[in-house]
Homo-oligomer: A and B are copies of this chain.
Amino acid sequence: MNENEIFRALADPTRRAIFEKLAAGGMNASALREGMEISQPAMSQHLGVLRNARLVREERQGRFVNYEVDPEGLALMARWMAKYRNYWPARIDALRDLLKDMDQ
């Protein structure tokens, strides 16, 4: 039901870059900013959006907050995509049967 929040979250290129960075390994918000030219509040706000979309989850560690990819968001997205598997190109056609399990 929060497909909306997922797609809205990923519609921003900065947020996709953050997600991509976290996919390479969990880290805290300060580490995420390195080499990104983004203010601290902006990063915090982006992480909040990604978190609400369940694409990312946080874990307090002292005065740091460690962020990592939350598989739940990707799973919801995969479920959305699975509805249209009839239109997936032949090249990944073999996925069809396996994805049937995702429908329940």
Shortest CB-to-CB span from A63 to chain B, Å, is 27
Where chain A touches its partner, the secondary structure class is helix
Contacts of A81 in B (CB 8 A): 74, 77-78, 81
Please name all residues of chain B whose beta carbon is closer than 8 Å to the beta carbon of A102 when the two chains form the complex: 91-92
- The 9 nearest A-B residue pairs measured at CB: A11-B11, A7-B10, A7-B11, A8-B11, A71-B89, A69-B87, A71-B87, A75-B89, A23-B84
Interface, chain A (partner B; CB < 8 A): 3-4, 7-8, 10-11, 13, 16, 19-20, 23, 69, 71-72, 74-75, 77-78, 81, 83-84, 86-89, 91-92, 94-95, 98-99, 101-102
